Amino acid sequence: MTPAFSSWQAFFAMGGYAFYVWLAVAISVMALCGLVAHTVWQRRRLLADIGQRLARERRIQAAKRKKHADKTAGDIL
Protein backbone atom coordinates (compact mmCIF):
# COMPACT_ATOMS: atom_id res chain seq x y z
CA MET A 1 0.00 0.00 0.00
CA THR A 2 1.46 3.36 -0.98
CA PRO A 3 0.52 6.66 0.62
CA ALA A 4 -1.38 9.17 -1.50
CA PHE A 5 0.80 12.07 -0.35
CA SER A 6 4.55 12.10 0.14
CA SER A 7 4.50 14.53 3.07
CA TRP A 8 2.17 16.46 5.33
CA GLN A 9 2.87 19.58 3.29
CA ALA A 10 1.68 17.81 0.15
CA PHE A 11 -1.39 16.61 2.05
CA PHE A 12 -2.32 20.12 3.15
CA ALA A 13 -1.59 21.51 -0.36
CA MET A 14 -3.94 18.90 -1.89
CA GLY A 15 -2.24 19.01 -5.26
CA GLY A 16 -2.88 22.73 -5.72
CA TYR A 17 -6.55 22.55 -4.79
CA ALA A 18 -6.10 23.23 -1.07
CA PHE A 19 -8.33 26.31 -0.99
CA TYR A 20 -11.32 24.50 -2.48
CA VAL A 21 -10.79 21.26 -0.57
CA TRP A 22 -10.32 22.87 2.84
CA LEU A 23 -13.12 25.36 2.21
CA ALA A 24 -15.45 22.45 1.47
CA VAL A 25 -14.25 20.62 4.59
CA ALA A 26 -14.76 23.74 6.73
CA ILE A 27 -18.27 24.35 5.38
CA SER A 28 -19.21 20.71 5.96
CA VAL A 29 -17.88 20.73 9.51
CA MET A 30 -19.67 24.01 10.25
CA ALA A 31 -22.93 22.61 8.89
CA LEU A 32 -22.60 19.47 11.00
CA CYS A 33 -21.80 21.52 14.11
CA GLY A 34 -24.82 23.70 13.39
CA LEU A 35 -27.05 20.64 13.11
CA VAL A 36 -25.75 19.23 16.39
CA ALA A 37 -26.21 22.59 18.17
CA HIS A 38 -29.73 22.96 16.77
CA THR A 39 -30.65 19.44 17.85
CA VAL A 40 -29.37 20.01 21.39
CA TRP A 41 -31.21 23.35 21.61
CA GLN A 42 -34.42 21.84 20.27
CA ARG A 43 -34.21 18.91 22.72
CA ARG A 44 -33.79 21.25 25.68
CA ARG A 45 -36.70 23.36 24.53
CA LEU A 46 -38.89 20.29 24.03
CA LEU A 47 -38.07 18.97 27.50
CA ALA A 48 -38.82 22.38 29.01
CA ASP A 49 -42.19 22.48 27.19
CA ILE A 50 -43.03 19.00 28.44
CA GLY A 51 -42.14 20.05 31.98
CA GLN A 52 -44.37 23.12 31.73
CA ARG A 53 -47.28 21.05 30.42
CA LEU A 54 -46.89 18.48 33.19
CA ALA A 55 -46.77 21.24 35.82
CA ARG A 56 -49.91 22.80 34.33
CA GLU A 57 -51.72 19.46 34.36
CA ARG A 58 -50.73 18.93 38.00
CA ARG A 59 -52.04 22.38 38.93
CA ILE A 60 -55.31 21.70 37.13
CA GLN A 61 -55.72 18.33 38.86
CA ALA A 62 -54.93 19.89 42.25
CA ALA A 63 -57.49 22.64 41.65
CA LYS A 64 -60.12 20.04 40.67
CA ARG A 65 -59.38 17.99 43.80
CA LYS A 66 -59.59 21.10 45.97
CA LYS A 67 -62.84 22.16 44.36
CA HIS A 68 -64.27 18.66 44.84
CA ALA A 69 -63.07 18.56 48.47
CA ASP A 70 -64.57 22.00 49.16
CA LYS A 71 -67.86 20.91 47.59
CA THR A 72 -68.05 17.68 49.61
CA ALA A 73 -67.09 19.53 52.81
CA GLY A 74 -69.89 22.01 52.16
CA ASP A 75 -72.39 19.19 51.65
CA ILE A 76 -71.49 17.61 55.00
CA LEU A 77 -72.10 20.83 56.96
- Distance in angstroms (rounded) separating the CA atoms of residues 30 and 23: 10
- Distance in angstroms (rounded) separating the CA atoms of residues 24 and 15: 15
Q: Is pLDDT of 64 > 90?
A: yes
Residue 45 lies in a domain: yes
Count up the domains in the chain and report the number.
Answer: 1
Q: What is the per-residue DSSP string for 26-43?
A: HHHHHHHHHHHHHHHHHH
Residue 17 lies in a domain: yes
Instruction: Report if pTM > 0.85.
Output: no
Residue 2 lies in a domain: no
- Structural domain containing residue 68: 8-75
Each residue's pLDDT tens digit, 22-63: 999 999 999 999 999 999 999 999 999 999 999 999 999 999
77 or 34, which is more confident: 34
Residue 22 lies in a domain: yes
- pLDDT for position 76: 65
Residue 41 lies in a domain: yes
The dihedral of CA 51, 53, 56, 62: what is its sign?
negative
55 touches 63 (CB < 8 A): no
Indicate the pLDDT class of residue 77, thresholds 50, 70 and 90.
Answer: low
Residue 3 lies in a domain: no
Q: Is pLDDT of 2 > 90?
A: no
Residue 56 lies in a domain: yes
Residue 1 lies in a domain: no
